Amino acid sequence: MPTIDAVRSWSDYVRRHHCRNTQLIYIPIIWRFQPYMPEFMSELTCEHIENYLSTLKTKNRTINNHLITIKSFGHWCSDHGIPNPASKVKKLPEDHPKQRVLSEDEYAKVLAICKTKRERCIIQLLGTTGLRANELISLRQGNIDPDNKFLHIIGKGNKPRTIPLCKVAQEAIDDYFNLPKSLTYITLYRLCKCLAHRAAISSFSPHALRHFFATRLMRNGVNLYRISKILGHSSVTTTEQIYIHFLATIDLAGITDCLDK
């Protein structure tokens, strides 16, 4: 298959099967890579991929993001009978940035300085469901079970997941849908920045509330597999890599006492 045809077909596939955010990342990257590819897909080698990655004068984390896109393209190619050399290219080592997580005290401070019910229910929803910013923005009443106990989400990578709702989350969702809404990425991020300033704490993003949600579950004994499912991670390994430094802080005293019985 001519390379240009494969790139066009894969781009169309991404538009049909991936969320808008993924489209905005994947499609520009693969077209940026296209000039470094041979005329025909059958001639593509690891060397072509590595040569392209070497031109990216940026952090290893960004280079790996490009490689992830190329690997996704290569996986699609293999499904169409085209060899996939991308599977043999290894990611570069990278330092994971320290995650900003609100403490219990910071979370309480933020809720205390919320001036409106709208501000409060947005923070409570993020802090008690682990929703990503785009998932909250696109939230609809159809996502909620009739009994108001579960939230059904189509998340990152079009992966469906179910989030159990605590009483606080149930009340916050009721308030959220009963209030005027014009929530966008910009207004949501500005709200978090504004609340941090008002509460006199370090700036935080909506994602910091997702981390707060996950670490709070960990400290209350919820196992990593269940947390991974609620967060919508592709595997427990992903969850473990993000939260490994938090796991080390969990108090293990008395955890084996059940074996005495």
Query: Angle at Cα 11 formed by Cα 6 and Cα 13, nearest 5°?
Result: 95
Q: Which two tokens stand for residue 224?
A: 């990593």
Q: d(Cα 55, Cα 51) in Å, to the nearest integer?
A: 7
Check if 243 is active-site.
Answer: yes
| Active-site position among 132, 161, 176, 211 | 132
Respond yes or no: is residue 156 known to be catalytic. yes
Q: Is 109 designated active site?
A: no
Name the strand (E) or helix (H) holding 25. helix 20-33
The string of pLDDT tens digits covering residues 133-152 is 989 988 888 889 888 889 89
Q: Is 20 one of the annotated active-site residues of the chain?
A: no
Residue 260 has pLDDT above 60, yes or no: no
Q: Please report which helix (H) or strand (E) contains residue 162, including its range.
A: strand 160-164
Mean per-residue pLDDT for 198-206? 93
pLDDT at 251 > cutoff 80 = no
pTM higher than 0.85 for the full model? no
Burial class (CB in 10 A: 0-12, 13-18, 19+), 8: middle
Q: What are phi and psi of 154, to 5 degrees?
A: -100, 105
β-strands 150-154, 160-164: how paired?
A: antiparallel
Taking CA atoms, 171 is separated from 117, 145, 165, 219, in Å, by 11, 14, 10, 24
Portion of the chain with pLDDT greater than 70, in percent: 90
Rounded to an integer, what is the distance from CA 173 to the centroid of its chain? 21
Residue 47, token pair as written in the block: 């060397």
What pLDDT, in 10s, does the model give residues 108-129? 999 999 999 999 999 999 999 9
Residue in 211, 219, 208 with CA at minimum distance from that of residue 250: 219
pLDDT at 68: 92
Residue of 198, 207, 216, 229 with catalytic role:
207
CATH class, domain 104-247, is mainly alpha
Asked whether the predicted pLDDT for residue 38 surpasses 70, the reply is yes
Dist. CA 1–CA 129, nearest whole Å:
45
pLDDT attached to residue 258: 56
- Residue 100 annotated in active site: no
* b/e per residue 60-79 (b: at least 16 CB within 10 A): eeebbbbbebbbbbbebbee
The full set of domain ranges for the chain reads 3-88, 104-247
Q: How confident is the model at residue 185 (pLDDT cuts 50, 70, 90)?
A: confident
pLDDT at 249 over 70: no
Q: Which of 18, 48, 120, 156 is catalytic?
A: 156
